[in-house]
Amino acid sequence: MRVTRRSFAKTAAAGLWPGWAGAAPVQRGRVVIARDPKTVNLAGLLDRAMQAYFGTDNPVEAWRRVVKPGETVGLKVNCLAGKGGSTSVPLVELICERLQQAGIRQEKIIIWDRLSEDLESAGFRPTKSTGRIQFLGNDVLGYESELSVYGSAGSRLAKTLTQLCDVVINLPVLKDHGIVGVTMALKNMFGAIHNPNKYHPNAGDPYVADVNMLPEIRGKVRLTICDALRAQYEGGPTYMPQWTWPYNGLLVSQDLVALDTVGWQILERKRAEMGLKPLREVGREPKYIATAADANHRLGVNDPKRIERVEV
């Protein structure tokens, strides 16, 4: 389902986040795609996407629908590919700005990923300083000693997630993955566990879906903003500039499954345009997306006919 900018305020509410009044309804099956094909005004792009998703004329008000003062907000970036193939530093800086304008203090913002060296290679600067935005690799605090288990997944979760973050904003990249097909909202949470290397057989199915069912992940991820400024349609997750293109966009959703479905469609269209076979034909169809939507998981909507695409 495609929706124009004029009708972006329409919602598909399916429940509220627990824990506080005033949270925005969780909009299952809804994805906002904000693009600036000619030149990227990043602040305008982010504000437009957030306003469209939450149906408000005020970008700060949109962020107030996601977080409340006093919460510690973790920004789960994706930095494995280093500069060029990782979550954009300027995008993260803008999100930090908007969070502070929405009432989140600097020291309550944590930018995190698996390794400190990955953060540094992507252009972030890990630090333990107090009173400022924190940059933490999981190697700083480590992982819980007890396993969290759901289905095929048995993992120790990062203490950054379990002990520090009240809320997680998921910030993946729109990118191909050489084993599991695509790596976006669902796959990005592999950066919260100690053993992601164990979960790549069968193109990640059902492992990616099961990891996202772990309570600390499912209960804390409130929003995904997928960095599609420069997307990659082949050769991922390593940065391969020859297979990237300036999509100049952001994808925003509370529904990880719907966002991954839409992102997958975008990548498949680009692959076709460039003369590459569909992921299904090369043995990398991301079936875990459908698994995440099934009756045992119910993490979101994967039926394109039931996904509300809002293009702004």
pLDDT confidence of residue 37? 82
Would you call 173 helix, strand, or coil by DSSP?
Answer: strand
Please give, one letter per residue, the 3-state secondary structure of 123-137: CCCCECCCCCCEEEE
State the amino acid at position 268 in one-letter form.
Answer: E
Cβ atoms of residues 304 and 265 within 8 Å? yes
pLDDT confidence of residue 27? 85
pLDDT in tens, 23-41: 567 889 999 999 998 777 9
Q: Which fold has domain 2-311?
A: Rossmann fold (3.40.50)
pLDDT in tens, 249-305: 999 999 999 999 999 999 999 999 999 999 999 999 999 999 999 999 999 999 999
pLDDT in tens, 43-71: 999 999 999 999 999 999 999 999 999 99
pLDDT confidence of residue 40? 74
Any idea which of 8-22, 190-204, 222-236, 242-256 has the lowest mean pLDDT? 8-22
Pairing between strand 181-183 and 173-177? Answer: antiparallel
Pairing between strand 148-150 and 153-155? Answer: antiparallel
- Work out the pLDDT band at 180, boundaries 50, 70, 90: very high
pLDDT in tens, 120-161: 999 998 666 678 999 999 999 999 999 999 999 999 999 999
- Work out the pLDDT band at 240, boundaries 50, 70, 90: very high
- If you compute the radius of gyration of the chain from its CA atoms, what whole number of angstroms results? 18
pLDDT in tens, 194-232: 999 999 999 999 999 999 999 999 999 999 999 999 999
According to DSSP, residue 160 is labeled I
Residue range 180-192: mean pLDDT, rounded: 98
21 pLDDT more than 90:
no
What are the distances in angstroms from CA 282 to CA 159, 178, 215, 234, 285?
A: 37, 10, 33, 11, 8
What are the distances in angstroms from CA 273 to CA 190, 268, 270, 276, 300?
A: 30, 9, 5, 8, 29
pLDDT confidence of residue 131? 80
- The Cβ of residue 23 has, within 10 Å, a number of other Cβ atoms equal to 17
